[in-house]
A and B are shown apart, each in its own frame.
Chain A
Amino acid sequence: MAQSDVLLKLKGVKTYFFTDEGTVHAVDGLDFQVRRGETLGIVGESGCGKSVTSMSILRLLGKTGKVIEGEIMFDGENLLDLSEEEMRKIRGNRISMIFQQPTTCLNPVFRIGEQIIEALQIHQGLSGEEANKRTIELLTLVGLPDPVRRMRSFPHEISGGQAQRVMIAMALACNPELLIADEPTTALDVTIQAQILDLMRELREKVNTAIILITHDLGVVAEMAENVMVMYAGKAVEYAPVHALFEAPKHPYTQGLIASTPVLGNVRDELETIPGQVPSLLNPPAGCRFASRCAHKMDQCTQEEPPLIKLEGDRLVRCWLY
């Protein structure tokens, strides 16, 4: 793999929130990379730090959150060193984002066409007429019915699935090198989800965009991702190519996650469960963070945190069993 192939590389990233109740160790030492054109899936239980990871990359953490350690290298540049002004040029231009709730990202008082046209004028320096033409192209590309008329709609006048398509059109307006999609289809019905996933696949092929796809739906990951990172309580616990991960999950948490998912067409009497619940990120336990729920726990597990251990076939696992 040539070095320039790597588009994004996180090294030892720690993102903490400083709250009245204490310090939330939301992301606690994260390393991963994404190649150009690659789709990386990130899965994990609610609250494990998936969204905070993406917000750290985009530097949209708000007042209480801060990346306190590590590097976020994007195309050879550490995003953490950029000024706010420089960062603004990257956001929505070289890196785009699709959020779970599309309507929260569309400005309710502007027509959807105007919003895309404006983005194109600011980021791509297109003239009004060029931007207008490109907007129609994009809305057609994302399969919005009757795009010329729809451009004049306000966000509340379109359905959730349509709003999500407008968001994708906006995210792609600038042919981004990296698209971060945080639960892009969770709020949608499955038939609409199928349309949107189809669309993302098509666009990936046309524009060679790298995608970070965050979801808790293992089905979506299996279908879309080349590589998968599994997170648990602020840490990556497993990293593997998608086929290898589903064929032979290594980390006890990943194993439990896959075994507890009901699979269409494969009814079992009893679903496997993972007992207990996720530890608090205010005072994460010493040692392995999964230990309180793990059936393979050993003495060592609660004393010393397991490192990410390299396995064959480009795999990493954070567990003392290996």
Chain B
Amino acid sequence: MTVSNSTSENLLEVRNLKKYFPIKGGLMRRTVAQVKALDGVSFSIKKGETLGLVGESGCGKTTTGRTVLRLIPPSGGEVLFEGQDVLKASSSRMRTLRRDMQIVFQDPYASLNPRIPVGQSIAEGLTIHNIGTPKERLDQVAQVLDRVGLNSGHMRRFPHEFSGGQRQRIGIARALVMQPKLIVCDEPVSALDVSIQAQVLNLLNDLQKDLGLTYLFIAHNLSVVEHISNRVGVMYLGRMVELASRDQLFRKPMHPYTKALMSAIPLPDPTIKRDRIILEGDVPSPVNPPSGCRFHPRCWLAQDICKHDDPIFEEKEPGHFVACHFAQG
């Protein structure tokens, strides 16, 4: 279990991934600055595994997912899928990759075209890739609808006729119909009520068990991520600051930011009184990230060295990676 050592069980390997968005300004619309949305992120996901990605708003979770899928081009780094570089893939290889890697979005409302029946939305990928006859496509759509707990009768209905949880199931069906190997789930349950959220999480778990799917599961809710992930990465301001197995990370977090994040979560049990780490200040801007360790302006452990030396993301314990000069369990 390493971040960068290539092993054949890794379905996905991401090395030093960077994405800078230009900020244009002035009369000439020249690039006046850059948003360093991703600034050197590395991780890998084994086949059949779920890697959870957490972190606060704007830390780069969605950008990670989209760059991995090549929905947006990276500014640097490598993405290996089954050992081959996605970013250098030929167009024919890219066609297969587009089937192998699917995405499920946060907002089930926005991700479905309101004017076309959901059956057609689900079949869209098959149609684009010219897979099967119309009849075969219809069968496949019926099959995946059944798989996600809806039925073929739902095919002709429009998105507005479904509840939020059902729409999210449709989003999952749309990914599943392509028979992908990897699904990037970007906040798939964040817009749902808890009782509905539980239905969708259980569905994702069942599908993984039955079909051997691999997930990159993005969420800002740590309880949800703990529930669904085998390993978890914590991001802060365009960087991965900690990466470990679920149990390592939740039982023995080592990065001060991870510790603060965990202590900040209100637990649904009024008998528990915890010592909370209250961070000072707000999340800084990725346009001008702080020098040295990016977390230093908010870190209660910060020393002088943290202001000018960027800590290396390294394996402090087997399988447990941390970027902090003073990491401790």
Instruction: State whether these chains interact.
Output: yes
B110 CB to closest chain A CB, in angstroms?
17
B265 beta carbon closer than 8 Å to chain A? yes
- How many residues of chain B have a CB within 8 Å of chain A? 42
How far is it, in angstroms, between the C-alpha of A93 and the C-alpha of B165 when the chains are bound?
40
A271 lies within 8 A of B265 (CB): no
A190 lies within 8 A of B261 (CB): yes
Chain B hits for A243, CB < 8 A: 270-271
A161 lies within 8 A of B282 (CB): yes
B202 beta carbon closer than 8 Å to chain A? yes
A294 beta carbon closer than 8 Å to chain B? no
Chain A hits for B276, CB < 8 A: 194, 198
B199 lies within 8 A of A273 (CB): yes
A222 lies within 8 A of B270 (CB): yes
A217 beta carbon closer than 8 Å to chain B? yes
A263 beta carbon closer than 8 Å to chain B? yes
A259 CB to closest chain B CB, in angstroms?
8
B56 lies within 8 A of A246 (CB): no
A276 CB to closest chain B CB, in angstroms?
9
How far is it, in angstroms, between the C-alpha of A262 and the C-alpha of B228 when the chains are bound?
10
Chain B hits for A222, CB < 8 A: 266-270
How far is it, in angstroms, between the C-alpha of A262 and the C-alpha of B250 when the chains are bound?
14
Q: Given A262-B227, A264-B250, do A191 and B270 touch, yes or no (CB 8 Å)?
A: no
How far is it, in angstroms, between the C-alpha of A189 and the C-alpha of B219 when the chains are bound?
12
B279 CB to closest chain A CB, in angstroms?
5
Within 8 A of B (CB), among A111-170: 145, 159, 161-162
B210 beta carbon closer than 8 Å to chain A? no
How far is it, in angstroms, between the C-alpha of A308 and the C-alpha of B91 when the chains are bound?
65
Which of B57, B222, B262 has most A Cβ within 10 Å? B57
B198 beta carbon closer than 8 Å to chain A? yes
B261 lies within 8 A of A262 (CB): no
Chain A hits for B220, CB < 8 A: 189-190
Cβ 8 A contact of A194, one of B205, B264, B283:
B264
Chain A hits for B265, CB < 8 A: 190, 219, 264
B226 beta carbon closer than 8 Å to chain A? yes
Interface string of B190-202 (1 = CB under 8 A from A): 0001111111011
A246 lies within 8 A of B198 (CB): no
B211 beta carbon closer than 8 Å to chain A? no
B260 beta carbon closer than 8 Å to chain A? yes
How far is it, in angstroms, between the C-alpha of A258 and the C-alpha of B114 when the chains are bound?
33
- How many residues of chain A have a CB within 8 Å of chain B? 45
Chain A hits for B193, CB < 8 A: 45-46, 216
A192 lies within 8 A of B282 (CB): yes
A262 lies within 8 A of B226 (CB): yes
B269 lies within 8 A of A246 (CB): yes
B205 CB to closest chain A CB, in angstroms?
8
Chain A hits for B226, CB < 8 A: 262, 264-265, 267
A270 beta carbon closer than 8 Å to chain B? yes
A195 lies within 8 A of B278 (CB): yes
Within 8 A of B (CB), among A216-239: 216-223
A61 beta carbon closer than 8 Å to chain B? no
B288 beta carbon closer than 8 Å to chain A? no
How far is it, in angstroms, between the C-alpha of A272 and the C-alpha of B268 when the chains are bound?
15
B267 lies within 8 A of A272 (CB): no
B6 beta carbon closer than 8 Å to chain A? no
24 residue pairs from A and B, CB less than 8 Å apart:
A189-B56, A189-B220, A190-B56, A198-B276, A216-B194, A219-B267, A219-B268, A220-B266, A222-B266, A222-B270, A260-B194, A260-B197, A260-B198, A261-B194, A261-B223, A262-B224, A263-B223, A264-B250, A264-B265, A267-B226, A267-B227, A271-B202, A273-B195, A273-B199
Besides A222-B269, A267-B246, 10 more A-B contacts (Cβ < 8 Å) are A162-B282, A190-B56, A191-B261, A193-B266, A219-B266, A246-B269, A262-B224, A265-B267, A267-B226, A277-B166
